Amino acid sequence: MAESKRYAVVTGSNKGIGFEIVRQLASHGITVVLTARDEKRGLEAVQKLKESDGFSDDILLFHQLDVSDSSSVASLAEFIKNKFGRLDILVNNAGVAGVEADAEAMKAAAGGESRDPKWDKWDALQSSLTKTYESTVQCFEINYFGTRRMIEAFIPLLQRSQSPIVVNVSSTVGLLKNVNNEWAKGILSDVDNLTEERVDEVVNAFLKDFKEGNIEANGWPATFSAYTVSKVIVNAYTRVAAKKHKDIKINCVCPGYIKTDLNFQTGMLTPAEGAESIVRLALLPEDGPSVVTGANKGIGLEVVRQLAYNGITAVLTARDEKRGHDALKKLKESGNLSGDVIFHQLDVADSSSVASLAEFIKAQFGRLDILVNNAGVLGVVTDGDGFTTVVRAALGEMDGSKINWDEVMTQTYELAVNCMRTNYYGAKRMIEAFIPLLQLSQSPRIVNVSSEAGILKQNVVLTNLNKSTLQKERVNEVVHEFLKDFKEAAMNAYTRIVAKKQPNMKKKKTVKIYQRIGFEVVRQLASQEITVVLTARDEKRGLDALHKLKESSDHSGDIIFHQLDVADSSSVASLAEFIKAQFGRLDILVNNAGFIGVITDGNSFTTARRIHAGEIDGARVNWDQMMSQTYELAVNCMQTNYYGARRMIEALIPFLQLSQSPRIVNVSSVLGKLEIIPSERAKGILSNENLTEESVDEVVNEFLKEFREGSLESKGWPYSAYSVSKAALNAYTRIVAKKQPKMKVNCLCPGYVRTDLTFHTGILTAEEGAERIVRLVQLPDDGPSGLFFIHGEVSSF
């Protein structure tokens, strides 16, 4: 059984995330030792917590600690040994950025005492950052060697705990993909042969290159280089320590982009929100037991393997007893499992089978810590080719309206009932049967394995299942209604039944122009009582789109059409004159018009998508056969994607300046990231803090010149004009944001969206892509400017 009292140490915990980790652990009744390098600040932090949360002296203690000082670490270890005799939880949170900044610039960017970030001061702060060899060494002494000192010093005390846990606070910048040094990546990704000595070898190589000024030349990250590499190293060391000490749960975690002093209060999450993910790791359940349903193959089998690898006792279940025993034998033969794996037969569709397993868990362990409901059936009869067809239709690679679904799959009423009994009622039976045993755990977990296909889209379902007052009885009613309708007309007719029951539900039509992101942006803005000018190069298509929007009843703002060709200065001027005469000002400008710049087809674009996803080796693809890109197309691409956005901004700036809250959103792409451009000269120009329109034009003209001369590859350019045009657009966004500090000017990649531009091979719908654009439009007045967003998160350029 678990110990009744638990003890924790959190490094760097007098403020920020560390302070919140202490608060949240103590609120679970865990005795926490708050540590800080500065004794006065540490004692003040303890007093603050005691006053705000009422923690007693036996729950919250302070001890001075400098993780970069071995004697200080040893002193804390001696204190813990004498005071408690063991340690249950160690959170290595102490960290530094590895750069020095001008104090005034930092204060201005962080908003002073108000902690309200001033994004227009960000450029000044960035230019004030300096990296010295001394600050770089200190970064490693604290972030990596400090973590290592703590673990090595406290291992003997952690081994006295029944459920020891170590959490190393890392960062997403610590992912190996952020390091271009192939030698270092090779060492750090070689899990089987990784040792502390090999990790130190990488650290020493980096420090040597830093001292000699060879950071970029040798493939190390250029920005926040020490911090990035130190976190890469912490992640690697975590694996080494976890492998060496299998009796201790040792993990690392990125808590998210948090508002702390480390990032000058520019984060998206509060320290309390960031601390939650760390505390969840610190409170991982003990070594089991855990139950995984449907675990004799596929995902379920891998879940069991990974739980057992982490020292957790796992009960592997399967409906077929022979297959279950075969899976158990296979796991045990593979080795590398520090936790025990046991088999028990289970059919989640059979209440007596579920009850039998619950009785076994009760008799064997007395409680349950983890329940993973993975068992599931597809509910149709099909084959590999049929399933591939379904997936390709879902991804937009095939036109679903031209597929004879009766030939692809068979779905009977009996199969539908079995699907519900397994996927929904099976999970429900398991939870209801095991709740009493889970309630006996100190840290119970339930994970229900679902699917993206379960996201609510149909109004008939959404209306019933998306209510805050939802009860399980109503869920059952929806299931029964579905099965009743299914029995009456079968699955292929179900959509017609729903449409008949819900006369207000709009039927979907396939009209190319209506599947574009711009159309969806107009619709979503208009639904928020914003007057929107819908533009298109082709007047007929634009008016058709306007008519389609006005037919719908889901917008409250006015929608007006005006013809526009962003590649034509006179057309842009005509629109500007119209805006001036009609409204006198402009509040929002979304530059969405884009051109891919190549001649290709859906199959070729699908191949490109699969290469990007790592499914195909791009080096073996003949790009000249896949797509045709002429000089004229490249020029047109630049004229639309970059110069078009620039013409629009320059023409409409006077009217945006008359708005109380002006916004500009430039729709870009992940393909415009500078890391995709091999040309170091182009990257150097476009990443320069003193960037101007003239220098962006210089890069564009150089690309077009070398395109015309056929020297793109030899000069380090990407094959696609589209990538360069989007990189130029991102750079220009920064220039405008700097010139217009009263405006919010940002660019974003809305994601891989199913549109004409991507030949409908995307993952997101146009509506989902448009939502991200509209969120940027809706930024608060003190929100960011001059940034690049991908998947709704701030990204590097």
DSSP states along 591-650: E------SB--HHHHHHHHHHHTTSS-GGG--HHHH-B--HHHHHHHHHHHTHHHHHHHH
Q: What is the pLDDT of residue 114?
A: 40
Q: What is the pLDDT of residue 338?
A: 54
Q: Which of 7, 133, 144, 227 is catalytic?
A: 227
**Is residue 256 classed as helix, strand or coil in its secondary structure?**
coil
Q: Are 314 and 302 in contact (CB under 8 A)?
A: no
What letter does residue 192 receive in the DSSP assignment?
A: G
CA distance 662 to 639: 25
CA distance 105 to 44: 27
The amino acid sitting at 640 is T
Residue 666 pLDDT more than 90? yes
Average pLDDT for 363-384:
77
CA distance 42 to 19: 10
Q: What is the pLDDT of residue 156?
A: 95
Parallel, antiparallel or unpaired: strands 788-790 and 588-591? unpaired
Q: Are 678 and 632 in contact (CB under 8 A)?
A: no
Residue 267 pLDDT more than 60? no
Average pLDDT for 765-776:
82
Q: What is the pLDDT of residue 115?
A: 40
- Report how far apart, in Å, the C-alpha atoms of 116 and of each of 129, 270, 781 are: 20, 12, 12
Q: Are 422 and 363 in contact (CB under 8 A)?
A: no
Residue 618 pLDDT more than 70? no
Share the mean pLDDT of the chain: 78
Residue 781 pLDDT grade (very low, low, confident, very high; cuts 50, 70, 90): confident
Average pLDDT for 312-340:
82
CA distance 230 to 277: 21
Average pLDDT for 663-678:
87
CA distance 182 to 192: 18
Q: Specify the higher pLDDT residue, 655 or 305.
A: 655
Q: Across the beta sheet with 793-795, what order do the strands follow?
A: 588-591, 663-667, 744-749, 788-790, 793-795
Average pLDDT for 437-443:
83
Q: Specify the higher pLDDT residue, 385 or 70.
A: 70
What letter does residue 398 receive in the DSSP assignment?
A: S
**Is residue 694 classed as helix, strand or coil in its secondary structure?**
helix
Q: What is the pLDDT of residue 501?
A: 42
Q: Are 120 and 785 in contact (CB under 8 A)?
A: yes
What residue ranges in 335-395 does DSSP mark as E strands?
341-345, 370-373
Q: Are 61 and 137 in contact (CB under 8 A)?
A: no
Domain pair 7-282 / 290-454, same fold: yes
Q: Out of 319-333, 354-368, 510-524, which region has the weakest mean confidence (pLDDT)?
A: 510-524
CA distance 674 to 686: 8
Q: What is the pLDDT of residue 405?
A: 52
The amino acid sitting at 497 is I
CATH 3.40.50.720 is the classification of domain 7-282:
yes
Please say if 514 is a catalytic residue.
no
Residue 31 pLDDT more than 80? yes
What is 512-795's CATH topology?
A: Rossmann fold (3.40.50)
Other C-beta atoms closer than 10 Å to the C-beta of 320 total 12
Q: What is the pLDDT of residue 346?
A: 93
Residue 1 pLDDT more than 50? no
In our burial notation (b when 16+ CB lie closer than 10 A, e otherwise), range 445-469 reads: eeeebeeeeeeeeeebeeeeeeeee
Q: Specify the higher pLDDT residue, 373 or 288.
A: 373
- Report how far apart, in Å, the C-alpha atoms of 397 and of each of 225, 320, 392, 457, 606 are: 41, 37, 5, 21, 7
Q: Out of 24-38, 147-161, 255-269, 677-691, which region has the weakest mean confidence (pLDDT)?
A: 255-269
Q: What is the residue-wise DSSP string for 406-447?
A: HHH-B--HHHHHHHHHHHTHHHHHHHHHHHHHHTTSSS-EEE
CA distance 172 to 9: 24
Residue 620 pLDDT grade (very low, low, confident, very high; cuts 50, 70, 90): very low
- Report how far apart, in Å, the C-alpha atoms of 491 and of each of 460, 488, 497, 772 are: 16, 9, 10, 33
Residue 283 pLDDT more than 90? no
Average pLDDT for 398-413:
59
In the chain, what are the domain boundaries? 7-282, 290-454, 456-504, 512-795
φ and ψ at residue 49, rounded to 5 degrees: -70, -40
Average pLDDT for 14-41:
92
Q: Which residue has the tokens 């208009």?
A: 526
The tokens of 661 are what? 């809250």
Q: Are 648 and 639 in contact (CB under 8 A)?
A: no
Residue 260 pLDDT more than 90? no
* Nearest partner of 11 among 26, 25, 21, 23, judged by Cα: 21
Q: Specify the higher pLDDT residue, 759 or 725.
A: 725
In our burial notation (b when 16+ CB lie closer than 10 A, e otherwise), range 225-245 reads: bbbbbbbbbbbbbbbbbbeeb
Residue 670 pLDDT more than 90? no
CA distance 278 to 283: 9
Residue 317 pLDDT grade (very low, low, confident, very high; cuts 50, 70, 90): very high
Residue 182 pLDDT more than 50? yes
- Report how far apart, in Å, the C-alpha atoms of 313 and of each of 324, 328, 466, 723 are: 16, 13, 36, 50
* Nearest partner of 68 among 18, 11, 13, judged by Cα: 11
Q: Out of 109-123, 145-159, 234-248, 690-704, which region has the weakest mean confidence (pLDDT)?
A: 109-123
**Is residue 507 classed as helix, strand or coil in its secondary structure?**
coil
Q: Which residue has the tokens 């409901």?
A: 373
Q: Specify the higher pLDDT residue, 493 or 469.
A: 469
**Could you tell me which CATH number the domain at 290-454 has?**
3.40.50.720
The tokens of 775 are what? 């969120």
Q: What is the pLDDT of residue 572?
A: 93
Q: What is the pLDDT of residue 619?
A: 44
The fraction of the chain above a pLDDT of 90, given in percent, is 29
Other C-beta atoms closer than 10 Å to the C-beta of 546 total 16
Q: What is the pLDDT of residue 80?
A: 95
The fraction of the chain above a pLDDT of 70, given in percent, is 72
Residue 119 pLDDT grade (very low, low, confident, very high; cuts 50, 70, 90): very low
Q: Specify the higher pLDDT residue, 425 or 647.
A: 647
Q: What is the pLDDT of residue 365?
A: 84
Q: Out of 88-102, 450-464, 738-752, which region has the weakest mean confidence (pLDDT)?
A: 450-464
Q: Are 607 and 616 in contact (CB under 8 A)?
A: yes
Residue 413 pLDDT grade (very low, low, confident, very high; cuts 50, 70, 90): low
| pLDDT per residue as tens digits for the range 541-598 | 889 888 888 877 565 568 899 999 999 999 999 999 999 999 999 999 999 988 877 7
The tokens of 562 are what? 């005006």
Q: Out of 470-474, 640-644, 749-753, which region has the weakest mean confidence (pLDDT)?
A: 470-474
| pLDDT per residue as tens digits for the range 732-755 | 999 999 999 999 999 998 876 655
